[in-house]
Amino acid sequence: MELIIFDRIRNRALTFFDEFVVEMKYDSIASTFRFSFLFNPLNPEHKEFACVSHFHIATLKHEGEVILTGYILSQHFDDEPEKQMVHISGYSLPGVLEDCEIYPSPPVSLKDIAFSWSPDLDVKYGGGYPLQSDGLSLREIAQKYLSPFGIKMVVDSSVSDSMDEKYDETTAKATQSLKSYLCELASQRNIVITHDEFGRLVFTRPSSTRTPIAHFERGSSLFTKMSLVFDGKNMHSNIMVLQQQDEDPEIPSNENETINPYVPFVFRPRVIVQNSGDANETSNTGKNIRADELRNMKLTIDIAKWEIGKKIIRPGNIITVTNPYVYLYKKSKWFVESVTLKGNPKSLTAAMECVIPECYTGEEPVYIFKGINLH
């Protein structure tokens, strides 16, 4: 592992760590990292690496492959009779969108240092960042709010048309985070917001037809541990979404029912009231709720290395699994939702958390346990 820190003067590299953890999740705008090393306060390089409050930009690499690009946020120092390690942590560049709300006026300090501001934004958006964005597309709204942070965006071809659909009217809450607002708009278009290793915000829609990166089965040397957890308490058989009428909020103007095939034998209903949006958005709301509930069936796989096929394991990939000992009697597809990479001087390990692909693809879920039991 190599950590390269840009301190706004030059790049500094650190290659030895006592401990390193990187946590990557697909439906997240940022990956997180934390590392520890034996700190010598008299070493000028250590002093620069551990610099407090500068929010240095960090790039993590493993054997030349970039894992993450982000900010160093936190430092933890201890002094005891024995030498102590310093603990440093941070997240990917777009993580700031989760910590910040929409700013009501142009960020003058950023304009002064010519961070990423262009003068035409003052003209186009009236000198500020209004909470209301009428007649704009998600692409335009995202560009408007990402600009002062210097965060770049990538739009996958699978959602390009959806990104350019106009919203008649949309208003962010005064204390709503930028991440929350963008994700709220994206979910109405069945768009997933994630991020890449270069610190860019990515708008996409996964596909279950992607070629699996590996097949896992019992006895394989690919993994050291596998577990499947099904939490039925948080699943419902029927999800009804009601849309209120403006003139009479007590009477729903539209309703949509979504069925969960993973609750086939009992009646466990859930009712949601939607205060805005059209009929299509009502349908998407039910599917999104079902997708969230299906995440309560999770497959975890531990691996004694960071790579599969000479590439670092990352969220967003598809794998296949056959293992009767975790009740997967038939070969099934799984979507890698999150990956935790851990390292120390003795070993490198990875843990994958997987869900069924339909949690992200928007497709109708396929009941993978069909035909396994007699009843």
- 110 & 190 share domain: yes
Please report whether residue 19 resides in a domain: yes
What is the pLDDT, as a whole number, of residue 126? 36
**Which has more pLDDT, 284 or 258?**
258
On whether both 220 and 357 belong to a single domain, the answer is yes
Mean pLDDT within 247-256: 62
The three-state secondary structure class of 128 is coil
Query: Please, what's the b/e burial string for 63-92 (b: 16 or more CB within 10 A of its CB; e: otherwise)?
Result: eeeebbbbbbbebeeeeeeeeebbbbebbb
The pLDDT assigned to 340 comes to: 97
Q: Which domain holds residue 308?
A: 215-231+296-361
- pLDDT at position 112, please? 46
Q: What pLDDT score was predicted for residue 9?
A: 62
20-41: average pLDDT: 90
How far out from the chain centre does Cα 124 lie?
30
Query: In terms of domains, do 57 and 178 share one?
Result: no
H or E element in which residue 341 lies: strand 328-343
Phi and psi for 334 in degrees, rounded to 5? Answer: -135, 145
Task: Let me know if residue 371 belongs to a domain.
Answer: no
Q: What are phi and psi of 364, to 5 degrees?
A: -65, 130
Mean pLDDT lowest among 8-12, 77-81, 147-151, 157-161: 8-12
Q: In this structure, are 223 and 323 located in the same domain?
A: yes
Confidence of residue 37 (pLDDT cuts 50, 70, 90): confident
Q: Do residue 121 and residue 192 come from a single domain?
A: yes
Is the predicted pLDDT of residue 114 greater than 50, yes or no? no
Q: What is the arithmetic mean of pLDDT over 48-64? A: 84
User: Domain for residue 130, yes or no?
Assistant: yes
Supply the pLDDT for residue 247.
55
**pLDDT of 345:** 81
Q: What is the pLDDT of residues 121-140, one digit of tens each?
A: 443 443 445 677 778 999 99
Greater confidence (301 vs 20) lies with 301
297: three-class secondary structure by DSSP: strand
Has residue 209 been placed in a domain?
no
Number of independent structural domains in the chain:
4
Q: Is residue 320 part of a domain?
A: yes
- At residue 245, the pLDDT reads 60
Please write down the HEC assignment for all residues of 60-79.
EEECCEEEEEEEEEEEECCC
| Residues 117 and 147 sit within 8 Å (Cβ to Cβ) | yes
Average pLDDT, the chain: 85
Nearest to 162 by CA among 143, 185, 178, 184: 185
- Residue 368 belongs to some domain of the structure: no
Rounded distance between C-alpha atoms, residue 24 and residue 32, angstroms: 7
Distances (CA, A) of 35 to 24, 85, 87: 15, 10, 6
Residue 294 has phi, psi (to 5 degrees) of -65, -15
SS3 246: coil
Q: What is the average per-residue pLDDT within 256-284?
A: 82
For residue 299, what is the enclosing H or E element? Answer: strand 297-303
Q: Which residues contact 191 (CB under 8 A, 6 or more apart)?
A: 138, 159, 162, 163, 203, 204, 205
Beta-strand relationship, 225-230 and 238-244: unpaired
User: What single DSSP character describes residue 159?
Assistant: G
- The CATH number that applies at residue 322 is 2.30.300.10
Which of 64, 93, 122 is the endpoint of a domain? 93
- Asked if the model's pLDDT at residue 221 lies above 80, the reply is yes
Last residue of a domain, one of 93, 115, 135: 93
Q: Over the stretch 154-202, which tens digit does the pLDDT of each residue have?
A: 999 999 999 999 988 888 887 889 999 999 999 888 899 999 999 999 9
Shared-domain flag, residues 224 and 319: yes
CATH code of 169's domain:
3.55.50.10
Quick check: is 238 in a domain?
yes
- Note whether 221 and 321 are same-domain residues: yes
Give the pLDDT score at 127: 40
250 and 349: one domain?
no
φ, ψ dihedrals at 355, nearest 5°: -130, 170
CATH number of the domain where residue 256 is located:
3.30.1920
Domain boundary among 293, 313, 337: 293
Residue 367 lies in a domain: no
Q: Report, as an integer, the average pLDDT of 312-341.
A: 96
Three-class DSSP category at 45: helix
Neighbours of 36 (CB within 10 A): 18
Res 175: pLDDT: 83
* CA 139/CA 165 separation, integer angstroms: 9
Q: What gap in Å lies between CA 262 and CA 248, rounded to an integer? A: 35
Ranking 145-149, 324-328, 351-355 by mean pLDDT, the lowest is 145-149
Amino acid 107: pLDDT: 57
Which pLDDT value is given to residue 78?
A: 85
Residue 15 has pLDDT above 70, yes or no: no
Secondary structure class of 284 (helix, strand, coil): helix
Average pLDDT over every residue of 94-101: 92
Q: Smallest Cα–Cα separation from 294: which of 241, 215, 229?
A: 229
Q: pTM here?
A: 0.83
Q: Are residues 64 and 127 in the same domain?
A: no
Whether residue 195 is found in the same domain as residue 104: yes
The pLDDT, as a whole number, for residue 125 is 40
The candidate with the shortest Cα–Cα distance to 354, out of 305, 324, 313, is 313
Task: Say how far residue 347 (Cα) sits from the centre of its chain.
Answer: 26
Q: Which residues contact 363 (CB under 8 A, 6 or more apart)?
A: 208, 357
Give yes or no: residues 49 and 155 share one domain. no
- Do residues 182 and 140 both lie within one domain? yes
The arithmetic mean of pLDDT across residues 12-29, rounded, is 84
